[in-house]
Amino acid sequence: MTTPSATVTWTGANARRLERQGLTDPLTRTPSAVVESMPAAHAQVLSAAELSVGLRSRELTRADVRKALWTDRTLIKTFGPRGTVHLVPAAELPLWTGALSALPAGRATQPEGVRMTPEETEEVLAAIADALTGAELTVDELTEAVVARAGAWAGEPVMPAFQTLWPRWRQVTHLASHRGVLCFGPDRGRRVTYTRPDVTPLDGPPALAALVGRYLHAYGPATPQNFAKWLAAPGRWASDLFAGLAADGEIEEVVYEDGSPAWVVAGDTAFPSQPVRGVRLLPYFDAFVIASQPRERLFPGAAYTRALAGGQAGNFPVLLVDGTVAGVWHQRRSGRRITVTVEPLTPLTAGQLRELEQQVSRVGEVMEGKPELTVGKVTVGGHA
């Protein structure tokens, strides 16, 4: 049994997480470097990812994020943790693909008759890789290309999704991304495109070790179960992974004030001595909100009911006051006008209102619009 190397307070852990992500003092970095601090930005709704990046920086706007994605290609839009769409730094893509492709296979989600065999899966993955090399294809174009290479069975509309049936091959879209043969290309009008990134995945064990290090740097101290939840991976597998890394001296155990153990990168045991002060706005599914644990400490009291959806974080944009969730907010855009409604759970002081106005102004800068602030009830539901 290991002896914890340090005792950590929740206040210190939370302050360090916020500091490292530019949520106390904004970062002066490139879009890819800001994303690396998260260490990935949720991008199911791209505008939310643009805001996540911009609000962690002093000057970056959505145009800078788009340039990094589609012109400089220093950011990659792909399927990341939990199989959801994320932005990751292009330089980190070998790590991400190596780690994600090494995760334990989950239980089959497709019924017999829809599910593909291991041999069919490999055939489709090879077809996707070939079709997307040097190309940007819509889903329909990629379906035609996969069918041409693998056979008509791959395009049969048998996969239930969104009240329709998708072609059989699409059940391996996430796996193709994790293998490094598929990522998003620039939209073609309103249609999504896919392309093949120029990446060679790292070997699984070193990639997983590196990903644990990135995660703990951003969100430690954390438990194997926290890491497993972040990736939607089995808890026992994560416990074994952490045990192996601890035995190799790559991570070390600390203990919270209540006696519960957690882990940090070896030697990374310095924490701020002062609590966080200030007001911040974070968008839908912001990485900090999703990954920070324990969730009941980040969402204290009434915030747990108001700002979570059945315990799930991310469905509401949140107001942070002194480092914890203290309200929700919503933005509505019409042309360049951005109406921002903020609902604090307790009244804000005059100083906090001034900071809120500065945050709303920054939202306008990032999203290249003219913001108008209203403090009042947010009447729309989650993820609206």
pLDDT in tens, 279-317: 999 999 999 999 999 999 999 999 999 999 888 899 999
How much of the chain exceeds pLDDT 90, in percent?
91
Helix axes 350-367, 46-54, angle to 10 degrees: 120
Domain coordinates of the chain in residue numbers? 30-195, 279-375
Q: Give the tokens for residue 115.
A: 């599910």
Contact of 328 with 341, CB cutoff 8 Å: no
Contact of 155 with 143, CB cutoff 8 Å: yes
In angstroms, the Cα distances linking 86 to 123, 238, 239 are 26, 21, 25
Mean pLDDT of 7-20: 96
pTM for the whole thing?
0.94
pLDDT score for 162: 83
pLDDT score for 342: 98
Q: Tell me which long-range contacts 233-236 makes (C-beta under 8 A, separation of at least 24).
A: 233/103, 233/104, 234/104
Task: Name every residue whose Cβ is closer than 8 Å to that of residue 354 and which is 6 or more positions away in sequence.
Answer: none
Query: Does residue 221 have a cis bond before it (omega within 30 degrees)?
Result: yes
Residue 361 has pLDDT above 70, yes or no: yes
Q: What confidence tens digit (pLDDT) does each residue in 210-228 have?
A: 999 999 999 999 999 999 9
Report phi then psi at 41, rounded to 5.
-110, 125
Report phi then psi at 45, rounded to 5.
-110, 110
Task: Name every residue whose Cβ is closer than 8 Å to that of residue 197 and which is 6 or more positions away in sequence.
Answer: 76, 78, 90, 93, 180, 182, 183
How much of the chain exceeds pLDDT 70, in percent?
99
Q: Give the position of tokens 């065999």.
A: 117
What is the CATH code of the structural domain delimited by 279-375?
Answer: 3.40.630
Q: What confidence tens digit (pLDDT) does each residue in 157-190 have?
A: 999 888 899 999 999 999 999 999 999 999 999 9
Residue 198 banded pLDDT, cuts 50, 70, 90 = very high
Mean pLDDT of 25-30: 92
Q: What confidence tens digit (pLDDT) does each residue in 45-99 have?
A: 999 999 999 999 999 999 999 999 999 999 999 999 999 999 999 999 999 999 9
Query: H/E element holding 42?
Result: strand 41-42
Q: Give the tokens for residue 238.
A: 């994560």
Mean of all residue pLDDT scores within the chain: 95
Residue 384 banded pLDDT, cuts 50, 70, 90 = low
Residue 268 corresponds to which amino acid?
Answer: D
Query: What whole-number distance in Å separates Cα of residue 140 and Cα of residue 131?
Result: 12
Query: What whole-number distance in Å separates Cα of residue 136 and Cα of residue 159?
Result: 24
Q: Give the tokens for residue 302.
A: 């009434």
pLDDT score for 2: 62
Query: What whole-number distance in Å separates Cα of residue 316 and Cα of residue 383?
Result: 6
The count of other CB atoms within 10 Å of the CB of residue 205 is: 14
pLDDT score for 110: 80
Q: Per DSSP, what are the bridge partners of residue 161?
A: 164
Report phi then psi at 260, rounded to 5.
-80, 135
Q: What confidence tens digit (pLDDT) does each residue in 224-248 have?
A: 999 999 999 999 999 999 999 999 9
For 168-317, list the strands marked E by DSSP.
183-188, 191-195, 251-256, 261-265, 279-282
pLDDT score for 326: 98
